Structure 1
């Protein structure tokens, strides 16, 4: 019993330390919050005015956040905390979107509110990142990339479809495979075990790899990453039961996500003209991430 209590106490300390180490969500002081000094004053003013005009005309709110890093969190974990804190978009309409850029990490994400997920789908958001924003980022034109990305987001929300993609398959950035490896490993062992028992080793492993590949394609929009994840999922599921099980392992264990149950205040901070604040919109993790 003492050992169990000591273990639980250690886990609590580790969790508390990790939570304290997370990057604080910046206060919502305007439609554009730049914590890196990347954008000039005129860039911020022009972009803020553009977003203000769009909100006046359409009602939807779009915000931009630039931070140096999200470490130790992934940009997905950090951006959803930002969305929950800022509450961009109208309450119950949930028509908000946030473009988050982690400059030193070379990662970015478009976080989409529930009400815009039909227009700014995961695939559409990924295309905006890959085709509009990151090409300019690679040239060092951050102001141009953000402005062009926001323009495209607004036009998509207005109902204009994206141009037809080129015939070549978008293989994305193979570096995106890193963050999903732990998920692939977990899914291969847990889901794979269930499907192998249901369909047999070969068919169950094929089904596991296919499912993992489809999910990777949906969330990352990269055919190469999806293919690699699917192959890894198949192989892990196929060989998982070839290894002897530890006698000390528990079959009745449970798993829970690492998401925090904390809450954040949206803050009625002053904005471009001292009046901007989130409208109470809700987010559910829709959107896409990318890197350059």
Structure 2
């Protein structure tokens, strides 16, 4: 009987949502515009500093207390960089009137428990009491950004600026058609293709594309020059069929959490 009861409680735990965005609102408290502004603010800071901040709003964490649920989410989402552990998670349980700031290992010096508690009681709680959840969360994010900005952390990598293959298809097509056609007319198919491919590689590297992607773009530019405009129609249909842009954010970076932070209510 006790085993059955334990299993029943475990089965009713609030599920952890999939991390797809930096701001996840399961209560429809924030408008789409508000979520977008917060998302852009946090994303800009992440690109500049490398640290990751995420906001999660849920109706309730029961039967768990917010500390139990928050650390489960933090362990699953793994915010922050793997070796720096510089992630922060803000959890708001709206119906419970509870909130928590979960701080990664690497930021416990910049955001000690006492400071996290003050952010909750002095920054978040007053707007929350007035029903201004967006204002409270925004002020908390701004405060946390200020605290993290003063911490000496390694600079973020250039990974997010390298882009994917589909991100640079317009560049490839422009180079392959315009420049490639000109070089082909002057130097012939093969040498024109070689020059066009090399130019595309150099241009891609100049814009911060990774070496592998740049070389791949160069090869395709070379092929486009060889086949010319006549063969592009058949090739283009295959390149664009079913294509769509994807979310450029890779989610959590592997950061660790140990229960640092603070909780409160309003």
Taking structure 2 as the reference length, what is the TM-score of the superposition? Answer: 0.63
Alignment pair present for 1:90 and 2:90: no
Unaligned runs of 5+ residues in structure 1 are 1-9, 161-271
Residues matched between the structures, number: 172
Residue in structure 2 matched with residue 77 of structure 1 by the alignment: 68
CA RMSD after TM alignment: 1.3
Task: Report if aligned partners of 1:31, 1:276 keep a CA contact under 8 Å in 2.
Answer: no
Q: What are the residue-to-residue correspondences of 1:3-18 with 2, within 5 Å? A: 10-18=1-9
Task: Report if aligned partners of 1:61, 1:97 keep a CA contact under 8 Å in 2.
Answer: yes
SS of the residue aligned with 1:273? Answer: coil
Q: What are the residue-to-residue correspondences of 1:140-159 with 2, within 5 Å? A: 140-159=131-150
Q: What are the residue-to-residue correspondences of 1:1-292 with 2, within 5 Å? A: 10-159=1-150, 273-292=247-266
The structure richer in helix per residue is 2
- Report the CA distance between 1:13 and its aligned residue: 1.6
- Report the CA distance between 1:16 and its aligned residue: 1.0
SS of the residue aligned with 1:90? Answer: coil
Deviations 1:184-236 (Å, cap 9, x if unpaired)?
xxxxxxxxxxxxxxxxxxxxxxxxxxxxxxxxxxxxxxxxxxxxxxxxxxxxx
> Aligned equivalents of 2:30 and 2:71: distance in 1?
23
Task: Report if aligned partners of 1:67, 1:102 keep a CA contact under 8 Å in 2.
Answer: yes
SS of the residue aligned with 2:116? Answer: helix
Q: Which has the larger radius of gyration?
A: 2
> Aligned equivalents of 2:250 and 2:127: distance in 1?
28
Unaligned runs of 5+ residues in structure 2 are 152-245
- Report the CA distance between 1:274 and its aligned residue: 4.6
> Aligned equivalents of 2:147 and 2:50: distance in 1?
14
